[in-house]
Amino acid sequence: MIDRLLQIVAPHHCFECGKTGDLLCPNCKYDIVEDAFSGCIVCERPTANGICSACRTTYSKAWCVGDRTGSLLQLINVYKFERAKAAGSYLADLLDASLPVLPPDTIVVPVPTVPSHIRVRGYDHALLLARLFAKKRTLRTSTCLKRYNALSQRGLNKNERLKLAEKTYTCKTQLDSSVPYLLIDDVVTTNATLRFAARALQDAGATEVWVAVIARQPLDKQG
Ligand SMILES: [Zn+2]
Ligand SMILES: [Zn+2]
């Protein structure tokens, strides 16, 4: 495993242009951020807040770096499946560069990862991403959001995902209604997770819930 890790993290080559030194060089990072996704993260229609009024059910703002293709796809795959924590800081950088200035009392909340995925990867990818991003912005993080069940959405269709997600997230802590909560996840597929994770925060007292994800991958475009 050490060998495999070394092979991935050193030497680094930019996933986009191949230049040595970084998994994503500053120029290519700039291009991704310049070209950041700006529509509704659910239906892609143009909207100012990342979620259009027709798709808005729980959270009121959303940000997404881009579609899960090209170098974003590769960075996320390395991050999620090859255990290279190095990729995490590049993803946090991309989030940092793609999101506006947030109120200083914003609380960053990772979407809880399926326990079996944490065991396989050796770390919790959403938690790590949330912490890296919060550190860059000097925001607080909270792991107040928990899972009721340990079931994965992998392999399920849209309706099955919705049904499962509705019964997956809970927040037992009483939340502060005066501060915004920013949910963080790496990939949005059907919006089932974000929708019900946001609802769990609202059920616990949050009034303003926003979401930030690295990439969009609609279910019909899964490879
Ligand atoms: Zn590059
Ligand atoms: Zn929409």
Ligand 1: centre distance to CA 33 (Å): 13
Residue 207 is given by DSSP the state: S
Ligand 2: centre distance to CA 37 (Å): 13
Range of the domain at 71: 2-221
> Is 90 exceeded by the pLDDT of residue 171?
yes
pLDDT of residue 83: 60
How many folded domains does the chain comprise? 1
Ligand 1: centre distance to CA 51 (Å): 30
pLDDT of residue 118: 79
Ligand 1: centre distance to CA 75 (Å): 12
pLDDT of residue 205: 98
Q: Which residue has the higher pLDDT, 160 or 149?
A: 160
Q: Cis ω on the peptide bond leading into residue 11 (within 30° of 0)?
A: yes
Which of 116-120, 176-180, 190-194 is least confident? 116-120
Q: How does pLDDT run across 6-36, given as a tens digit for each residue?
A: 445 567 788 889 899 888 899 999 988 988 8
Provide mean pLDDT across the span 89-113.
94
pLDDT of residue 138: 98
pLDDT of residue 222: 53
Best CA proximity match to 83, nearest among 116, 58, 53, 120: 120
- Is this model's pTM higher than 0.85 or not? yes
The closest ligand to the CA of 16 turns out to be 1
Best CA proximity match to 222, nearest among 161, 141, 131: 161
Ligand 1: centre distance to CA 5 (Å): 21
Which of 28-32, 84-88, 128-132, 138-142 is least confident? 84-88
Provide mean pLDDT across the span 32-55.
92
Which of 73-87, 90-104, 187-201 is least confident? 73-87
- Per the structure block, which two tokens stand in for 173? 């802590």
d(CA 54, CA 166): 19
Residue 52 zone, left/alpha/beta (φ > 0; ψ -120 to 50; rest): beta
Q: What is the mean pLDDT of the chain?
A: 87
Write the CATH number for 7.
3.40.50
Best CA proximity match to 158, nearest among 186, 199, 192, 195: 192
> Is 50 exceeded by the pLDDT of residue 167?
yes
d(CA 218, CA 43): 9
